Structure 1
Amino acid sequence: MIGVVAASNVLVQYPVGFLGLEEVLTYGAFSYPLAFLVNDLTNRRFGPAVTRRVVYVGFALAVLLSIWLATPRIALASGTAFLVGQLLDITVFNRLRRMDWWQAPLAGSVLGSALDTAIFFSLAFAGDAFMSGPATYFGTVTVPLWVGLAFFDFLVKLGCALVALVPYGALMGWLKPWNAPASAAR
């Protein structure tokens, strides 16, 4: 978890430099969704209490490592977004864990990713002169660059949430699920 977050904090500073994607995506969009897969697999196997502890430890260590690898602003934005997004993922996952196997990880990842994206990009880049410069999409929509990056980052996260169902589903038989008491699943 720590490695995924730290790598993503470095990679989010670098736009994808080919196929004209530099105003659309950063490399962090492709690494960060792994945090939701790790979170959901941990939650499935060990339950919400252990998963929250993993998130708290991952949060603290990733912020410290990210201050060194990225910038303090990105580290703070990432830590805040990570903590809120992952805790939402845990909550949603646990409310849906008894439904069809794919619903809990997909819903948790999508909702957690939406909140994470909104928090991270606004805290990390709003007001930054370069990242707040205008970017035009689809020939007609002009928004600050960071808003466009956030939108397309979220689209990648949606795609990754769907793709992550493959390893999640494959590992379900190997990971014995945590048997939640009826009151703890809420």
Structure 2
Amino acid sequence: MTRTHLPGIIAMAAIVVASNILVQFLFGQWLTWGAFTYPFAFLVTDVMNRIYGVAAARRVVVVGFVVGVICSLIGTQIMGEFGPLVTFRIALGSGLAFLCAQLLDVAIFDRMREGAWWRAPLVSTLVGSTADTAIFFTTAFSAGFAFLEPGNDVAWANEALPLLGLGPVAPLWVSLAVADWAVKLSLALVALVPFKVIVERLTTRVA
């Protein structure tokens, strides 16, 4: 780890902390404000991967994971209206989702780095974001994983409702997951602009 990696480390830590705070605040019926900040973690990882290589990107991911674990531990000690702000299942799902999705993003980006400039960040982020959403929401809220924390009642998340209020009937957590996934996919496209700008500037500076 060198001083040149410090901006990426700080950016990743800031995104993780901000997302853990903003996830407590609702945005509409299906989202939280954290859904709009967390996806930029993929931008940080991809920029680090492009400029400094796969090893540097993985180090930044590890830092983000450690910061996330600390945030989860703090959240378990803060009591909300219905108990701790962060339950064991949420902490486990969050940690697994972040680590698996980010490392998957790093690996896919590295495999595709020789293609068109947009292909590696777009494909790696789309795949990583999909994995992130699937791992987190199933681990944290699916009735099939109730054995992970028997004392945690997630019946509210498994209430059968029309998907996003319009589609076929599905557990509430599926609507939350689909909405979160849609935001991630949208921001994956938006993030291509800052990715190109940041990479060009850093490439010039490094050169």
TM-score (norm 1): 0.85
- 1:181 aligned partner: none
Q: Where do 5+ consecutive residues of structure 1 fail to align?
A: 178-186
> Does 2:191 correspond to 1:164?
yes
Runs of 4+ in 1 over 6 A off after TM superposition: none
- Relative to structure 1, the CA distance from residue 66 to residue 3 in structure 2 (aligned partners, 3 Å threshold; closer, same or farther) is farther
Instruction: Answer 1 or 2: which has greater helix percent.
Output: 2
> Does 2:74 correspond to 1:68?
yes
Distance 1:5 1:148 in 2: 23
In the alignment of these two chains, the number of paired residues is 172
CA contact (8 A) 1:26 1:149 kept: no
- Relative to structure 1, the CA distance from residue 49 to residue 41 in structure 2 (aligned partners, 3 Å threshold; closer, same or farther) is same
- 2:110 aligned partner: 94
Deviation at 1:140, TM superposition (A): 4.3
Distance 1:14 1:132 in 2: 21
Distance 1:15 1:133 in 2: 19
Distance 1:64 1:74 in 2: 13
1:27-66 paired onto structure 2 within 5 Å: 27-66=33-72
2:155 alignment partner, SS class: coil
TM-score (norm 2): 0.77
- Relative to structure 1, the CA distance from residue 120 to residue 13 in structure 2 (aligned partners, 3 Å threshold; closer, same or farther) is farther
1:150 to 177, 186, 189: 177
2:156 to 110, 130, 139: 130
- Relative to structure 1, the CA distance from residue 175 to residue 95 in structure 2 (aligned partners, 3 Å threshold; closer, same or farther) is same
Aligned amino acid, residue 155 of structure 2: A
CA contact (8 A) 2:16 2:67 kept: no
1:143 alignment partner, SS class: strand
Structure showing greater Rg = 2
Deviation at 1:13, TM superposition (A): 4.2
Q: Where do 5+ consecutive residues of structure 2 fail to align?
A: 1-11, 76-84, 144-153
> What is the RMSD of the two structures over their aligned residues, measured on CA atoms?
1.7
- 1:180 aligned partner: none
2:136 alignment partner, SS class: helix
Percent of counterpart pairs with the same letter? 48
